[in-house]
């Protein structure tokens, strides 16, 4: 059987990425042009600027991915591209580029759900991983617990009712005067802090698998305002560590409950927040105690990248699930939808 070589394209938020993946799990190249320095001065992603930056970066990033992979364009089997969820203008840039390339090379086009891509990032770091497993997807836009019984099913068990975990990290960091994106900053600062210094709320104790982070975010912001008004100065590291501990506690508790209730023996984590060191440590310790296998992607495949999109694209392609030329961006695309 000849090799299946997929070009993946990702542009849903603030990273322009292209990757070449062979036979589903062998990454030949994974080029990422990050826009973080561009958005940093605004304290968050500015959608219009993101779209324009994708336009500038896309073709050079695709060329570089093909070059680094050491393949020719006519070696490609198909082009996989993120079509949602994400920023509509940003998605459209990657989608148009991927469509033009696939059309000109007479290749099949495969639309990929960004969140399914995040889950599939685990296959790249753990070649022996197979479903079934429970996935905790924690990113800037999503926080979900998913049952993944096979390669094609993503069943939502629980999700956030308001802010995503990454969004809470970024907003709290912003109020603390830390640069964007705030997640890695809070992670770093927390290492020097006392996580028991402030008892921030752990929301939705009664809902078994759902999350809520907006109350926690407000509690931290109110705490900081109160500090400022009274001239009291709580060490920022203590605020960061206490906030982070509140997020980690609920993520860990509900993930473990879902794994036990649904009988999963393997738990995987995905999305940008899965890079968080406290979350990794806590989930590693608690799953070990219960005899569960626990996996997360290597750092490069945690945050947005096209290799995970190509990997997901590969499995869709094997199932014959290609897209037609009318494929459009779907900013609010849900999980498990085609």
Which residues of this chain interact with Zn ion, rule CB under 5 A?
Answer: 139, 304
How far, in Å, are 62, 88, 271, 330 from residue 337 at the CA level?
27, 17, 18, 11
Residue 193 touching ligand KG4 (CB under 6 A): no
Q: How far is residue 168's CA from residue 189's CA, in Å, rounded to a whole number?
A: 16
Q: Which stretch binds ligand KG4 (CB under 6 A): 23-31, 40-48, 267-275, 306-314?
A: 267-275
Quick one: tokens of 292?
């569960």
Quick one: tokens of 154?
């993503």
Q: Which of 15/238 has CB closer to ligand KG4?
A: 15
Binding mask 57-96 for ligand KG4 (x = CB under 6 A): ----------------------------------------
Residue 122 touching ligand KG4 (CB under 6 A): no
Out of 94, 111, 193, 271, name the contact with ligand KG4 by CB under 6 A: 271
**For residues 153-172, which are near ligand KG4 according to CB under 6 A?**
166, 169-170
CB 178 within 8 A of CB 187: no
CB 215 within 8 A of CB 203: yes
Q: How far is residue 266's CA from residue 204's CA, in Å, rounded to a whole number?
A: 25
Out of 94, 108, 121, 181, name the contact with ligand KG4 by CB under 6 A: 181
Residue 50 touching ligand KG4 (CB under 6 A): no
Out of 24, 108, 183, 236, name the contact with ligand KG4 by CB under 6 A: 183
Q: Which stretch binds ligand KG4 (CB under 6 A): 26-34, 72-80, 181-189, 254-262?
A: 181-189
Residues in CB range of 228: below 8 A, 6 or more apart: none
Residue 17 touching ligand KG4 (CB under 6 A): no
Residue 10 touching ligand KG4 (CB under 6 A): no
Q: Which of 107/295 has CB closer to ligand KG4?
A: 295
Of residues 234, 235, 254, 314, the one with CA closest to residue 27: 314
Kindly provide the b/e burial profile for residues 195-220, where b requires at least 16 CB atoms within 10 angstroms of the residue's own CB.
bebbebeebbeeeebbbbbebbbebb
- Sites of contact with ligand KG4 (CB under 6 A): 13, 139-141, 166, 169-170, 181-184, 187, 271-273, 275-276, 303-304
């Amino acid at each position: 059987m000849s090799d299946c070589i997929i070009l993946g394209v990702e542009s849903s938020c603030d990273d322009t990425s292209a990757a070449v993946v062979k036979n589903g799990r062998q990454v030949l190249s994974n080029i990422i042009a990050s826009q973080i320095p561009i958005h940093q001065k605004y304290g968050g992603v500015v959608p219009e600027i993101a779209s324009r930056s994708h336009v500038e970066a896309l073709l050079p990033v695709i060329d570089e991915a093909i070059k680094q992979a050491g393949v020719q364009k006519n070696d490609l089997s198909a082009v996989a591209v993120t079509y949602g969820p994400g920023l509509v203008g940003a998605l459209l840039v990657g989608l148009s580029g991927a469509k033009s390339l696939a059309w000109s090379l007479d290749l099949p086009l495969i639309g990929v759900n960004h969140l399914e891509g995040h889950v599939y990032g685990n296959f790249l770091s753990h070649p022996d991983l197979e479903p079934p497993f429970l996935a905790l997807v924690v990113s800037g836009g999503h926080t979900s617990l998913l049952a993944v019984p096979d390669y094609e099913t993503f069943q939502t068990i629980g999700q956030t009712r308001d802010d995503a975990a990454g969004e809470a990290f970024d907003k709290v960091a912003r109020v603390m005067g830390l640069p964007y994106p705030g997640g890695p900053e809070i992670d770093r600062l927390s290492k020097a802090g006392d996580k028991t210094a402030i008892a921030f709320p752990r929301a939705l104790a009664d809902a078994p698998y759902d999350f809520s982070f907006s109350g926690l975010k407000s509690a931290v912001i109110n705490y900081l305002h109160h500090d400022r008004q009274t001239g009291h100065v709580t060490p920022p590291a203590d605020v960061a560590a206490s906030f982070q501990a509140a997020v980690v506690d609920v993520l860990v508790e509900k993930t473990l409950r879902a794994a036990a209730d649904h009988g999963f023996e393997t738990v995987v984590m995905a999305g940008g927040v899965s890079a968080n060191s406290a979350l990794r440590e806590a989930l590693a310790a608690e799953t070990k105690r219960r005899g569960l296998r626990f996996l997360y992607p290597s750092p490069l495949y945690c945050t947005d990248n096209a290799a995970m999109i190509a990997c997901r694209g590969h499995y869709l392609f094997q199932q014959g699930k290609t897209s037609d030329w009318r494929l459009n961006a779907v900013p609010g695309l849900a999980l498990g939808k085609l």
